[in-house]
Amino acid sequence: MQHVEFFHKDHFEHNYRRVYPIGTLSKFIEFFWETDFDALWEKYPEGFSDALFPNIGYTYLINLGTPFVMQVDKAKFEMKGDGFLPRPTNIECFHQQGNRLFGIKFKISPVIFEKEINFSEYQQYIFPLSYLMDVKLIDKIKKAASFEERVKTLTTHYQKLINQHSDEFKDISIVTGILDKAIKKNLFTVSIESLAKQHGISSRTLQRYFEKATGTSSKKALQIMRIRKAVAHLVNDPYSFHYSDYGYYDYSHFYKHLKEFLDKQTLANLKSQLNRMHPSLGADRR
C-alpha cells in the first residue's frame, strides 16, 4: 500500500503526531513529528510506504526503531541510523513492522549559527545526522520517554541557540519573509531582481542567502511552494481550482510545471488518484 501526500490526508493526519512551534522558532521549524503506526500493522502486515512531493527545507530523521528504506528520487537507501534529508525532490519511505521515526521538518536549521554550512552542497542523498546534530543530543532524544519530552528538549535547545544569535537574523528574516509572503498571497512568479530591490540588496546576495539557508535557489524554492499549493488545492477542492490563481497561463502551463517536479510514476499515480476521487473531472484536463 502506498500512501500519497495530499491524497491520503487521513493517514498523514492520524498516523503521524505533529507539533507546530510558535513565535521565533516557527521561522525555522515547520513542525516536529513522530510516526504512530501501532494500529496499522494488523492491516498491513507486509508493510506500506509513504510518498511525499518535493518541498522546501530539509528534515532531520532520528531512528527510534528498526532499519527502514528511504527512496530519494530514484535512489534507495537502507537506513539503520539517523539522517539528514534535503527535501527538494520526491521521497518515499518504506515502512515495516518495528519502524518508528522521529523528525524535525525545518524551513531553515539554526545550525547555521553554529557551523559554516551551505545547504546547497547537500543534495539528493541522505547524510549522517551527526554532521549537523551533536551525538549527545541525538542520544538524549532517543532516550526521552515520550514524543512530548522530545519536542520539549529540542524546543529548549533551538530556542536558546536562536536567542544567542538574534543579531544575525537579517539574511534569514529576508528569506523567511519572502517565503511567507509568497505562500500567503500566491506571489510565486516575482523575479529575484525585484525581490532583491525590495530589500535593498543585490540579486546575487539574495541568491546566496537562499542557497545557504534553504539549500536551493530562490526561484526553485518559490516554484516548489507554488506547485505544492496548487496540487493541494486541486485535490482538496477541484471544482474551485483555477490555474490562474497560481500564475499559470492555462492548464497546459500548469501541467507542464507539474511534470517538472514529479517523476512519471508519481505523476501517473496522482492522475489516477484524482480520477478516482473526482471522476467527473476527466482523466486529463490538459
Every domain of the chain and the residues it spans: 2-164, 169-286
2-164 matches 169-286 in fold: no
> What pLDDT band is residue 124 in, cutting at 50, 70 and 90?
low
pTM of the model: 0.85
Q: Is the pLDDT of residue 280 over 60?
A: no
Mean pLDDT (the chain) is 87
pLDDT band per the 50, 70, 90 thresholds, residue 214: confident
**Does the pLDDT value for residue 283 go beyond 50?**
no
Q: Which CATH number fits domain 2-164: 3.40.470.10, 3.40.50.300, 2.60.40.10, 2.60.120.10?
A: 2.60.120.10
Beta-strand pair 29-35/16-19: antiparallel
Instruction: Judge whether residue 279 has pLDDT over 70.
Output: no
DSSP E strands in the chain: the ranges are 2-4, 16-19, 29-35, 48-52, 58-63, 68-72, 75-79, 83-86, 91-95, 101-106, 127-128
Q: Which tops the pLDDT comparison, 146 or 4? A: 146
Query: If you average pLDDT over residues 15-20, what whole number do you get?
Result: 96
* pLDDT at residue 276, as a whole number: 67
* DSSP state, residue 121: G
The DSSP 8-state label assigned to residue 285 in this structure reads -
Residues in the chain: 286
Average pLDDT over residues 204-226: 88
Of residues 95 and 123, the one with the higher pLDDT is: 95
Which class for 259: exposed (0-12), middle (13-18), buried (19 or more C-beta within 10 A)? exposed
CATH 1.20.1070 is the classification of domain 169-286: no
Q: Is the four-CA dihedral 240, 246, 252, 258 of positive or negative sign?
A: negative
103, 60 in Cβ contact below 8 A?
yes
Question: Which pLDDT value is given to residue 74?
Answer: 82
